[in-house]
Structure 1
Amino acid sequence: MSQDFHDRLRSLVLAGSCVAFVATPTLGALIGEGEQTRRYDTVITPPDYAFAVWGPIFAGCLASTVVQCLPGGRSDPVSRRAGWPLIGAYAVNTAWSLAAQRDRFELTPYLLPVATACAAVAHIRLQGTRPRTGWASATPASTGLLLGWTALASTVNIAAGAVAAGTDRTAPRTVTASAIGLLAASAAVAAGVAVSRRGGTTLALASAWGLLTTAATRGRPRSIRLAAAAGATAIAAARSFAARTRP
């Protein structure tokens, strides 16, 4: 089969997966009860207003998909390198949303890390890929946003899965484990930001937003707020380092 056929096929699947990724949580909130995340609140869940970050994520991913599906974008190295991993990220995020809407939270701790891994693969592949057009730069930016938020959300979902299984979210052991998980996720994001040539700024912004809003939530344990603030500081330091050392 020709490369042109593969490009067209990838673009078609990418468009379908991205539409499902955006439409599933949006329509669920409009015509149903939406994602029942409040039932399994954790000490590291960001406040409600922090989830407004999905607006820029959805807009960026849609714009990136449109660019990749245009005749000139289908054959761009950016699309060829990152297209299939992004399809995986969009598809698994859609599955996560469906599980959350159907109150199947026992599945979410497994689904979101997979979606995050797919986004991470796309982000890594984009580091060594030079886009042919300026519009193609939308893909590293939107991928960074998606990865930055879902990396943090994966940790939250693991904690939510434990709560769904009956764990006391305010027990000292649970709070300690949650703080450690938050610091580990922050360290991973900071490392990614430090070595990123493309999409590092949006990667940092998405994660730091979630961490800072958590740190500012008075109802959370002090250790969680301190861990969130420390994580955001580490990510900011990594972005500063990257800005100084990379052209």
Structure 2
Amino acid sequence: MSATESARGSDVIRQILVIAAFVFMIIGDAVGLGAFGGTPIQEAQGGSFSPDASYLTPATEAFAIWTPIYLGLAIYVVWQALPSQRTRTRQRSLGWLIALTMVLNGLWLVTVQFLSVWATVACIVLLLAALVVTYLRAVRTHLPSDGAVDGILIDGVTGLHLGWVALATVANVAAALTATVPADWEGAASVLGVIVLVVVAVVALGVSAAGGWRIAPVLSIAWGLAWLAVARLTGDLVDVPIGIAAIVVAAVVLIIPAVARLLRERTLAD
């Protein structure tokens, strides 16, 4: 299969829709941050998304991960709109999917403002599913000849996005449960939280392995886990078992893929 083919009308439509999806996401982000008269995310849904409202919500500083994700997506949007990218097979395969992930990202932020906390769970699960499909297709179709820019702007950015949304999905579900289940469930929070973090470790390693032990997804997962540990060990909602488990899982999901990647590259070099 060649990297490029003859131009067709859908190529320009795809490029335009990718741009439109990014604009929608940014507007949704502005709404989610409280612009246009909206309520800031941490105060929306009765404060369900506050770092101290749920045992599995990271500290506020964790959300700085959106800066490299959004910057990477912005650069991708400009790059994919270039005439040189219009007919590339890889763009045709992935452009629509990346646009879908951006739309769902923006839609989640709008859902926070206007719908229920469980509606946000449904939206983020859809976003996570779309990112899994996009990422796996990206890593499986990437060729060495595609170059570093291609790898960074498609595989790398999508991987970061996927990793963060995977952890955010856990936090979102925990926030929804905290807002709706009986208060006496709090007694089981430590045990359940540690179990969930073990599952996060398994999922993170599975995603990394499926992607040839790429680091991008686990970087954002480990980042979020580190700030989850900060929130549980130093915040108002202290839970030492969850905080320690978050530190251990963060180390595991970083070290194992890094070592596996190194061994894989050495094997291929031999």
The residue type paired with residue 186 of structure 2 is: A
Describe how 1:43-192 pairs up with structure 2 within 5 A. 43-102=55-114, 104-129=116-141, 130=143, 132-137=146-151, 138-168=153-183, 171-192=186-207
Contact 1:42 1:163 in 2 (8 A): yes
Is the contact made by 1:8 and 1:74 (CA closer than 8 Å) also made in structure 2?
A: yes
Find 1:215's aligned residue among 213, 220, 229. 229
Work out whether residues 152 and 210 of structure 1, in 8 Å CA contact, stay in contact via their aligned partners in 2.
Answer: yes
CA contact under 8 A between 1:10 and 1:84: conserved in structure 2? yes
In structure 2, what is the Cα distance between the partners aligned to 1:238 and 1:8? 42
Q: 1:3 to 1:212 in 2, by over 3 A?
A: same
1:27-75, Cα deviation, whole Å (9 max, x unpaired): 4423332322671121010001111111111111111122122111232
Residue of structure 2 aligned with 1:39, choices 39, 47, 62:
47
Secondary structure of 2:57's aligned partner: coil
Aligned length, in residue pairs: 245
Shift of 1:205: 1.1
Asked if 1:196 is matched to 2:207, the reply is: no
TM-score (norm. length: structure 2) = 0.82
Check the 8 A contact 1:194/1:238 in 2, yes or no.
no
In the TM superposition, residue 188 of structure 1 has moved relative to its aligned partner by 0.7
2:59–2:230 CA contact under 8 A, matched in 1: no
Contact between 1:141 and 1:202, CA under 8 Å: does it hold in 2?
Answer: yes
Measured against aligned partners, the alpha-carbon deviations of 1:69-126 in whole angstroms (never above 9, x if no partner) come to: 2111232333222222222211112111011123521211111111011111111011
Is the Cα contact below 8 Å between 2:7 and 2:86 reproduced in 1?
no
- d(CA) in 2 for partners of 1:42 and 1:238? 28
Query: Structure 2: any 5+ residue segments left out of the alignment?
Result: 1-5, 266-270
Partner of 2:3: none
CA distance in 2, matches of 1:101, 1:123: 28
User: Is residue 15 from structure 1 mapped to residue 15 from structure 2 by the alignment?
Assistant: no
Structure-1 separation of matches of 2:13 and 2:256:
38
Contact 1:208 1:232 in 2 (8 A): yes
**1:161-199 deviation per Cα after TM superposition (whole angstroms, max 9, x unaligned):** 11222443971224432332232123211221234248x
Does the 8 Å contact 1:42/1:169 carry over to 2? no
C-alpha distance in 2 between matches for 1:203 and 1:15:
24
Q: Are the aligned partners of 1:144 and 1:202 in contact in 2 as well (CA < 8 Å)?
A: yes
Give the 4+ runs in structure 1 shifted more than 3 A: 131-134, 166-170
- What is the percentage of aligned positions where both structures have the same residue? 24
Alignment-mate amino acid for residue 158 of structure 1: V
Letter of the 2:47 counterpart: R
Q: Separation in 1 of the partners of 2:80 and 2:194?
A: 39
Q: 8 Å contact 1:146–1:203 — kept in the other structure?
A: yes
Change (3 A) 1:227 1:167: farther
**C-alpha separation in 2, matches of 1:210 and 1:54:** 11
Distance, in Å, in 2 between the alignment partners of 1:118 and 1:10 is 17
Unaligned runs of 5+ in 1: none
Please say if residues 191 and 238 of structure 1, whose CA atoms lie closer than 8 Å, have aligned partners that are also in contact: no
Please give the alpha-carbon distance, in whole angstroms, between the structure 1 residues aligned to 2:15 and 2:228: 37
TM-aligned CA deviation for residue 4 of structure 1: 2.1
After superposition, the CA RMSD in angstroms is 2.3
Moved more, 174-183 or 68-77: 174-183
Q: Secondary structure of 1:216's match?
A: helix
